[in-house]
Structure 1
């Protein structure tokens, strides 16, 4: 969901030494005219998730085909915040122009109503992103560590 702080979270996670990938780029996603949406490049995502890295990997993005990869993640986390917080962040941000037009803001609110419930139903964790960034990052790291440990346990 736009404005939840995904990009900020990746910056902070990288500062803490974690591997991070933002899939909101043409390196990881592609426009599919037939469905009129951005989708993950499945071959690239499969390759990324097959890598055996020594450091925990955090992947950020929201695409309709992401569910195909859920079984390859230790945790699937939804960052959430109230609509007014999301729109305020989008208005203030300078690193991404998405959400600045009335049409895009309407689409963000529509996705909040229609897409966020689907994400909530399929995530393993929901984190309230309407808190200090450090707290959100601490909770992301804790969720990843807990779920990774439980997946490795016999």
Structure 2
């Protein structure tokens, strides 16, 4: 097999440009949310179990979304859509509840006040992620990668 035939069979890398930046931001947010939730749970879980559990859930969502954005299969593409949709729902629900009933979230989570503690990145990121996924669907070649 010639080099050109091999290149033709290797799927194009759809993780370039803005996709790489998006993955990097998801990765940083995954690390930040994981670190925050770990410290919250270890240091003071009994003070705010709901808030700290939500921080841990957000961390898991960011980790899975990061991996799903990197992978190129149809399964991982669906997982990316699912996790990013769940993330947006979480940000909207927790953000709204934290404004309507601040007593529920006296201790901050990643998604409190729509991610205010993270510069509203948790609110904007899933929208960018959905836009990017819609613009970069899995091709037939990639679905077998």
Normalising to structure 2: TM-score of the pair? Answer: 0.29
More helix by share: 2
Normalising to structure 1: TM-score of the pair? Answer: 0.27
* Structure number, greater radius of gyration: 2
Instruction: Return the structure number with greater relative CO, CA threshold 8 A, min gap 6.
Output: 1
